[in-house]
Amino acid sequence: MKIIFKTLLFAFGLLLVQSCDDELVQKSNDSLSPSDYYTNSSEFEFATRGIYSAFLGGSYYGGSLLSLPDIMTDNVILAQRGRRSNQSFHEWRHSPNLSWGMLYSPYIVTNRANLVLNNIGNLEDGAEKNNFIGEARAARALALFDMVRVYSKIPTQNGADTSLGLPIITGIDPNVRNLRPNVADSYEFIKNELVDAKALINEDNGVARLNKEVVSALLSRVYLYMGEYQNAVDAANDVTTPISTFSEVGQVWKDASEAGVIFKIDQDRNLDGISIGTEWSQSTANNEVVPEYVVSFELNNLYQNTDARRNAYIANLPDQDGMVYNAIFKMYGETGQQNGVIDPKIIRSAEVALNKAEAHYFLGQEAQALAALDELRENRYSDYTPGTETGNDLIAAIQLERRLELFAEGHRLFDLKRWNLGVSRSATDGEFIDGTGTPVPANFLNLSAGSHLFQMPIPQSEINVFPEFQQNPGYN
């Protein structure tokens, strides 16, 4: 009897063991192993779209990169009744522990691009493959460019070339720990990647993707930053997208028109819902705003009444107590919306014209510079008459138009930086519509040209995990 028991029990035990052992391997129901992916063109298509979605990170084109470069300058002023978001940047109190964490998202872009490039051998040679390579390489070039303009000097600054750039990552090891190369090497990589991508990429992938037009436009900006003016002009000349017209300006900022937009991240208002406009304000249905920052009174007065941008970029909106502001209207929302969900524009033909004008100017070609500037101005002013500026007046006009055109698109800080200018704010103007209100505190009126504060500190969290990683000068 006992033997039967033991046998039965043993059999019983074995059965359970057998049946349950298989259950110890469980696979995810919503994700694959990366090693099983990147096998055909539709998977590369999805993976490439994944690269673009990484641009929408909140510290990147999903927010900070479009707002902080203006918040840190003379373009805006803090609204006292707001939530004081980003006040420490407005007041140049940033430090390694209180930094702009913009390394994460661009390196995610880089990683997604590198995964595509690492597996691209799975596709057959041809235009389709070349286009994927071109998009991935241009994306990682843009990502590195955005990081180096935030954390490093710009080549046109004194001593920039040998100062600290940022690591160039082309592999897929998540444990990689590269030290910082210099700025010259970083820009060399950016330039070469874009030049190579331009040869590989499709003529047209739509405005929501990188293509030859976008790469040319980006090159005009990169060359301008590098001080390679002839190359900047040449790249700009390859751009064919016309500048948005006077009547189209407002439509572009309601996402009702793509006129003059060369590259943007196309997001769905409901499905993606990245609210880039909340960097500036939140608002109620009856257009009362809770403003964070408003247009500085000085800049507000620079917009002529005949300027199409006056009403497209600025709106006189009250808060709930009836205090009225020169509120930033550029990212207010699509037509009829006030939720701040707008496609982030990464480069537009207006900028390319300004890049070209500036490059010509520095090449001493004032006539071409004026022509490029007028190309923009005739589409902005209802009372446009051809300009007559020369010399210092001409560069001042180009710089003014750049400030007016690219307001709240994340340019001002970098432009001042590469022009070797400081920031200078009004000591008397407040935040309300008539310039009354609370002025910027006295400590935060002037940031001298060349200050180390123009280069964001490497976040302490990066140094903590990689102590050899070099901090920017001035932050230790």
Handedness of CA 87, 89, 92, 95 (dihedral sign): positive
Binding another protein by CB under 8 A: which of 99, 281, 283, 472? 283
Per-residue buried b or exposed e for 205-239, using 16+ beta carbons within 10 Å of the residue's own CB? bebbbbbbbbbbbbbbbbbbbbbbbebbbbbbeeb
Q: At closest approach, how far in Å is the CB of 62 from another protein?
A: 12
Residue 176 engages another protein in binding (rule: CB under 8 A): yes
Residue 24 contacts residue 309 (beta carbons within 8 Å): no
| Token pair recorded at residue 27 | 């696979």
Collapsing DSSP to helix, strand or coil, 48 comes out as: helix
Residue 110 engages another protein in binding (rule: CB under 8 A): yes
Binding another protein by CB under 8 A: which of 68, 108, 133, 142? 108
Site for another protein in 142-161 (CB under 8 A): none
Q: Are strands 293-295 and 76-78 parallel, antiparallel or unpaired?
A: antiparallel
Binding another protein by CB under 8 A: which of 268, 384, 400, 427? 268
Binding another protein by CB under 8 A: which of 124, 125, 173, 203? 173
Site for another protein in 77-96 (CB under 8 A): 80, 95-96
Contact mark string toward another protein, 446..465, x via CB under 8 A:
---------------xx-xx
Binding another protein by CB under 8 A: which of 170, 251, 438, 451? 438
Handedness of CA 55, 58, 64, 66 (dihedral sign): positive
How many residues of this chain bind another protein (CB under 8 A)?
Answer: 94
Residue 100 engages another protein in binding (rule: CB under 8 A): no
> Distance (Å, rounded) from C-alpha 107 to C-alpha 391?
41
Collapsing DSSP to helix, strand or coil, 281 comes out as: strand
> Distance (Å, rounded) from C-alpha 265 to C-alpha 242?
19
Residue 476 engages another protein in binding (rule: CB under 8 A): no
Site for another protein in 373-392 (CB under 8 A): none
Residue 286 engages another protein in binding (rule: CB under 8 A): yes
Binding another protein by CB under 8 A: which of 3, 124, 125, 175? 175
Identity (one letter) of the amino acid at 23? E
Q: Which is nearer to another protein, 32 or 396 (CB)?
A: 32
Identity (one letter) of the amino acid at 261? V
Site for another protein in 220-239 (CB under 8 A): none
Residue 428 engages another protein in binding (rule: CB under 8 A): no
Collapsing DSSP to helix, strand or coil, 327 comes out as: strand
